[in-house]
Amino acid sequence: MRNKKKRQLSFTTYEASTKIKKDDPLNIIFESIDWSFIFPLVKNKYKTDKELIYNPAALFKAQLLIWLGEVKSNRSLAESLRFNTRYCVLCGFDNFLKTPAHSTFSYFRKRIGKDIYYKILHRLIAQIVAAAEINHINISSNIVHIVIYSSTGKKKSCNCSGSRCKYNQKKKKSQEETTIKVITKNFVALGYKIRMIINTSTQLPLEVNLIPKSVSTPSSTAA
């Protein structure tokens, strides 16, 4: 099975691709990410070329639209890919009439397994957060709390709205109401050491810390 196939865009999809602006935030983020690691992790889940109906990277791009708050569910995602030319093109689907159904995403996740799915998703999110910071693209604190450290290793800023960080207050209240179990994962990408605190129940990050690679942090290693 081969990972790369020459894309043959439908006329409508090609026309839509020419309208994507270079400063489109989603386009900037997606072009900043290394997607090449995905295929080696999932290739043994497919037996032949014929089984690879959709590029795994394209399916993950689409799934990231949910995490980024662009769409709310797999059902709305499937509908958006068919009727929203921007989403269809940026995710890498070649024809509006052949975009994935909502059940395709559930099947894909089941096929590759929960562990691999989240292993890939977490690594992609780490890259997204770093790319967004580098390109001054805002990611809402309602999605994830992002803390940026300076070259001296001190906390510089976060993505909370306003001058006062509200995340710790929310975190304290949440911990009082229920016990949240978390794990920490560490990555290196785009000039940053990235420490991610993940809710073990949802498997989604609660907080992401961006630390310049020049800062000495023995506990942060690439995952």
pLDDT in tens, 47-70: 876 667 899 999 999 999 999 999
89 and 50 assigned to the same domain:
yes
- Residue 95 covered by a domain: yes
The amino acid present at 128, given as its one-letter code, is I
pLDDT value at residue 98: 84
145 and 105 assigned to the same domain:
no
Mark which of 94, 112, 130 sits at the end of a domain: 112
pLDDT value at residue 53: 83
30 and 88 assigned to the same domain:
yes
103 and 46 assigned to the same domain:
yes
- Residue 146 covered by a domain: yes
100 and 18 assigned to the same domain:
yes
Q: Give the number of domains in the chain.
A: 2
164 and 105 assigned to the same domain:
no
Q: What is the mean pLDDT of residues 98-113?
A: 94
- Residue 202 covered by a domain: yes
94 and 155 assigned to the same domain:
no
- Residue 5 covered by a domain: no
- Residue 125 covered by a domain: no
**Closest Cα to residue 187, out of 141, 142, 128?**
128
Q: What is the mean pLDDT of residues 123-144?
A: 96
84 and 149 assigned to the same domain:
no
- Whether the per-residue pLDDT at 177 is higher than 60: the answer is no
Assess contact for 148 and 161: CB atoms under 8 A.
Answer: no
18 and 61 assigned to the same domain:
yes
Average model confidence (pLDDT) across the chain: 86
Could you give the dihedral angle defined by the CA atoms of residues 147, 138, 182 and 217, in that order, rounded to the nearest 10 degrees?
Answer: -30
pLDDT value at residue 218: 45
Per-residue pLDDT band for 29 (boundaries 50, 70, 90) equals very high
94 and 49 assigned to the same domain:
yes
- Residue 35 covered by a domain: yes
- Whether the per-residue pLDDT at 118 is higher than 50: the answer is yes
- Residue 58 covered by a domain: yes
89: domain range?
11-112
- Residue 89 covered by a domain: yes
145 and 100 assigned to the same domain:
no
160 and 207 assigned to the same domain:
yes
- Can you read off the two tokens belonging to residue 108? 């894909």
